[in-house]
Structure 1
Amino acid sequence: MDSDKLLGEFLRARREATTPVQAGPLSSGPRRTAGLSREELAMLAGVSLDYYTCLEEGYEGRPSKRVLGALVRVLALDPEAAAHLHELADPGTPQGRTIGQSQRVSPELLRLMRGWPRTPAMVCGLRMEVLAVNPVSAVLYRGMKYMDNLLRMVFLDPAAREFYRDWEQVANARVAHLRTAVGPDLDDPYLTELIGELSMESADFRQMWARPDPPVIPCETRETKHFYRHREVGNLTLTCEVFNVNSAPGQQLITLHAEAGSSSEHALSLLGSLAATTL
């Protein structure tokens, strides 16, 4: 059997064995299978359903490094399984172990995040890839097209300008973070591909990235106010705090909270209730 077919069989087997709890909160409703559907996996990995279907059916055997990284994350692959995925996608590659280890979120941190019913939280990697979200965060970002990477969400999702009332501030902060990430990783294939994709697809990104003297903007390493417009609960003003995950260098825990007694705190309570009843 050729490597493309083997890759497809591996993806199908791991998809069917991955529960929604492992992959991240998903939409509500009765489920036909215990594992992820193709539609769910494609959405969480930030690829089209048609593309993922071709991967699984063996018609597209050379996924990019970014896509492989997203599949490792969504399927919760351990380092050995991640290495096997990379070997199937590109026989002879030695990169699977490193990528798999850097994208695993500890079960203890996942349990901690799920224990915050009214505090949106997510774990991101250095390249702003989303590694995990808790239920209330999933409801906050529900409807966004890209959930695999915050840069792709901000620059490639047409809904982002409506969702982020302070879109330009958020976009500049994302670019500032990317500049920091690029510093020590000039040869990182994920970053190279991500920057190329953003440059091709977003004129706003091209303009911000090409600035000869970019503005000095905090990279969300301290308290930062953000302003959201949510289609179910209205406007929110939330404080973003970022914490380094000491047990996993490169990972950051991002939390959002509202001022006590504010309308935004009430809106977060509503989102928490929605998460409890729909996820």
Structure 2
Amino acid sequence: MDNLLGDYLRARRQLVSPEDVGLPAGGRRRVRGLRREELALLAGISSDYYMRLEQDRDQNPSAQVLDALARVLGLDDDATNHLHSLTAPAPAATTAVGPAPVVPPSIAELIGTWPATPAYVQDRLTNVLAANAIATALSPRYAPGHNLLREVFLDPAEQDFRVDWDEMTADGVGGLRASLGRDVGDPAATELVTELSAKSERFHELRSRHDIKPRTGHLARFRHPAAGPLDLHSDKLTLPGPDALSLVVFHAVPGSRHAETLASLANLVDSN
């Protein structure tokens, strides 16, 4: 059985140095980050009780205990909420593959009417399900059938295409963990994580941090092979429905050089 709470506490504990919480470094240390007893002391709980939490021998800590641990670990609101969620009842395990998500026809029609606004629809695993012409002109990897996490970690061309590749990969792994939460039994998610962990050292390293980074919007910086440098604001909007789909829309600052570049790319699409 997965020890979600213990794995998360251990991973986050290893990322906090003694100096971060006002403790002396104390010479050579055999463990990375805080010792269990140091975290327990700072959180106001016994070392034995903390040990039981990390070893999955107590799965019902109080909200006050979790908040105290989150404070010492320096967790933000999203990560603290995730910590609390790890003590909630686990969703029913399943090995069955459900029906493929369906993009609402009205959404597909809508983004198709946007000639100069790149947009696509993805599921919670970053599988692209629908995209308009300007999105696929921005990158062929935004075409339906591609998985963006797989592309960004396994396609070397992505490191050249994305100026902010390091930040994007970190946010992508944190976003995946946030979207899955306790649902670790999804066969498709398990397959994707297993593949990327085996093939990408970067993914394996980031996954071991247990970062939680829900993403709603950011600045995406591209090196387009034809159009050149292109900085676009990216916003992710959750679509209603049971399939946890998101609409991702790009836009440039009006009047900027990047807006002119995006318009030129749109004209190139029209001419074809």
Hey, what's the Cα distance between the residues in 1 that align with 2:239 and 2:141?
Answer: 28
Q: Aligned to 1:99, what secondary structure does the other structure show?
A: coil
Per-residue deviation, 1:140: 0.5
Hey, what's the Cα distance between the residues in 1 that align with 2:95 and 2:110?
Answer: 33
Residue identity matched to 2:250: L
Hey, what's the Cα distance between the residues in 1 that align with 2:144 and 2:103?
Answer: 20
Given candidates 176, 180, 183, the residue that maps to 1:182 is 180
Alignment of 1:1-279 (within 5 A): 95=96, 98-100=98-100, 103-142=101-140, 148-211=146-209, 214=211, 217=213, 219-221=214-216, 223-247=217-241, 249-278=243-272
Per-residue deviation, 1:274: 2.1
Per-residue deviation, 1:256: 0.5
Per-residue deviation, 1:95: 4.5
Hey, what's the Cα distance between the residues in 1 that align with 2:109 and 2:238?
Answer: 17
Q: Aligned to 2:149, what secondary structure does the other structure show?
A: helix
Alignment-derived partner of residue 45 in structure 2: none
Q: 1:128 to 1:110 in 2, by over 3 A?
A: same
Q: Aligned to 2:102, what secondary structure does the other structure show?
A: coil
Hey, what's the Cα distance between the residues in 1 that align with 2:226 and 2:184?
Answer: 41
> Which structure 2 segments of 5+ residues have no match?
1-93
Identical aligned pairs, as a percentage? 32
Q: Is the 8 A contact 2:111 2:132 kept in 1?
A: yes
Per-residue deviation, 1:117: 0.7
Q: 1:116 to 1:146 in 2, by over 3 A?
A: closer
Q: Is the 8 A contact 1:236 1:267 kept in 2?
A: yes
Q: Aligned to 2:140, what secondary structure does the other structure show?
A: coil
Per-residue deviation, 1:118: 0.8
Per-residue deviation, 1:248: 5.1
Q: 1:246 to 1:143 in 2, by over 3 A?
A: closer
Q: Is the 8 A contact 2:161 2:222 kept in 1?
A: yes
Q: Is the 8 A contact 1:238 1:257 kept in 2?
A: yes
TM-score for the superposition, normalised by structure 1: 0.60
Give the number of the structure whose alpha-carbon radius of gyration is greater. Answer: 2
Per-residue deviation, 1:150: 1.1
Hey, what's the Cα distance between the residues in 1 that align with 2:236 and 2:220?
Answer: 13
Hey, what's the Cα distance between the residues in 2 that align with 1:260 and 1:270?
Answer: 14
Q: 1:226 to 1:210 in 2, by over 3 A?
A: same
Q: Aligned to 1:104, what secondary structure does the other structure show?
A: coil
How many correspondences in the alignment? 179
Q: Is the 8 A contact 1:144 1:160 kept in 2?
A: no
Per-residue deviation, 1:143: 6.9
Residue identity matched to 1:255: V
